[in-house]
Amino acid sequence: MTTSLQRVLTTLGHQEPDRTPLFLFTTMHGARELGLSIQEYFSRAEHVVEGQMRLLEKYRSDCLYPFFYASLELEAFGGDTLFIENGPPNAGRPIIHRSEDIDQLEPPSVAKAVCLFRVLETIGQLKARVGDTVPIIGVVMSPFSLPVMQMGFDHYIELIYEQPARFSRLMAINEAFCVEWANAQLAAGATAICFFDPVSSTTNIPRDLYLKTGQPSAMRTLKRINGPTATHLASGRGLGIVADIAATGTAVLGVSALEDLALLKDAARNKLTLLGSLNGVEMRRWTADEAEAEVKRAIAKAGRGGGFILADNHGEIPWQVPDDVLLAIRDAVDRWGRYPLNWIA
């Protein structure tokens, strides 16, 4: 029987596996499985391990996703996290209050950042449970996107345009941290690293600026990460920079529901595996029929020839998405994702 890891590796090789791999990025749903609040759930590695294993059994996703929340990295820099009862934790106040603060900023040591240990413990325990059968996806924020939490998006945009020297220093700090954090997760047992880089999306900055800022930062960072990476634009647009992102050395691109998956597939063919692009916001009110139709549409546009993993388009399924919808997605992949995809006209 084909394992999830074999299935994913085949599609990453731009070959057709037995069926389309499905990554259900359920981070918070494990809390519901265990009857815990989201804050309680993320307070212990054992909770997340148990939650991820229960979700794996329930939805038969082709990955484990030991991602806690993005602001964990801000915590490593001395910031804090704000929990809510029905959604992902938010970053607290920025740690860079004035751009001059960057002059004194230093990258935190992963080995000393206690807040990160829970993630490493989770990855290690999951690896002990599944071995090499199911890919374990670690997560980092890209050095180029982390400043949105570190200093606020408005001040960060101003920094990019107006203070190139301080921008470069901030990238050097964040790149050092990102590489150490990614490699620690790989050493703990992660199979690959999802490199969240929404600021690089053409939704957020123009391509010419990306080529001078986000792309070189990604290139410097990814080549120092000791394992495969997937770049995720977290719902942002990327069609205009597919080849530029491929040039960073990443293997996978998480794409937006706002762009045509068929056009993305043409642009990425044999260069990048596409990951996406089910609309997570709409998903919470889909019927089973709508879920099936969306799965079918995505597979029809991007499934042929491999190089495609079906997932939501943001990298995190909202808390509000009910089990019924996720199970309907699972069933639809079983029905329409089997290769060869002869049903496609």
Partner 1 sequence: MSELCEALEALDRPRIEALFQRALATDGPLQVIERLIVPSLKQVGDGWHDGRVALSQVYMSSRICEDMIRRVLPARAPGHGGQARMAIVVLNDYHMLGKRIVYSVLRASGFDLFDYERMDVAEIVDRAEADRLDILLVSVLMLPSALKVPELRSALEARGVHVRIAVGGAPFLFDTNLWREVGADAVGYSASDAVGIVQQWMEEAK
Q: Which residues bind partner 1 (CB under 8 A)?
A: 82, 84, 86-88, 90-93, 152-154, 157-158, 160-161, 202-206, 209, 235, 237, 239-240, 257-259, 279-282, 284-285, 318-320
The nearer residue to partner 1, 79 or 307, going by C-beta atoms, is 79
- Could you tell me the smallest distance in angstroms from the CB atom of residue 176 to partner 1? 25
- Could you tell me the smallest distance in angstroms from the CB atom of residue 90 to partner 1? 5
> For residues 179 and 234, what is the distance between their CA atoms, to the nearest angstrom?
20
Label residue 100 exposed, middle or buried (CB < 10 Å: 0-12, 13-18, 19+).
exposed
The nearer residue to partner 1, 99 or 203, going by C-beta atoms, is 203
The nearer residue to partner 1, 39 or 203, going by C-beta atoms, is 203
Label residue 93 exposed, middle or buried (CB < 10 Å: 0-12, 13-18, 19+).
exposed
- Could you tell me the smallest distance in angstroms from the CB atom of residue 82 to partner 1? 7
Alpha carbon of 286 to those of 88, 118, 326, 328, 336: distances in Å?
21, 34, 10, 10, 18
> For residues 169 and 182, what is the distance between their CA atoms, to the nearest angstrom?
20
> For residues 292 and 215, what is the distance between their CA atoms, to the nearest angstrom?
36
The nearer residue to partner 1, 280 or 306, going by C-beta atoms, is 280
The nearer residue to partner 1, 40 or 162, going by C-beta atoms, is 162
Q: List the one residue out of 229, 232, 307 whose CA is nearest residue 267.
A: 307
Label residue 54 exposed, middle or buried (CB < 10 Å: 0-12, 13-18, 19+).
middle
The nearer residue to partner 1, 82 or 172, going by C-beta atoms, is 82
- Could you tell me the smallest distance in angstroms from the CB atom of residue 104 to partner 1? 24
* Contact call for residues 20 and 308 (beta carbons, < 8 A): yes
- Could you tell me the smallest distance in angstroms from the CB atom of residue 266 to partner 1? 17
Amino acid identity at 105: L
> For residues 273 and 317, what is the distance between their CA atoms, to the nearest angstrom?
20
The nearer residue to partner 1, 122 or 202, going by C-beta atoms, is 202
Token readout for 227 is: 């394992």
- Could you tell me the smallest distance in angstroms from the CB atom of residue 302 to partner 1? 19
> For residues 314 and 254, what is the distance between their CA atoms, to the nearest angstrom?
8
- Could you tell me the smallest distance in angstroms from the CB atom of residue 171 to partner 1? 16
The nearer residue to partner 1, 13 or 206, going by C-beta atoms, is 206
Label residue 329 exposed, middle or buried (CB < 10 Å: 0-12, 13-18, 19+).
buried
- Could you tell me the smallest distance in angstroms from the CB atom of residue 161 to partner 1? 6
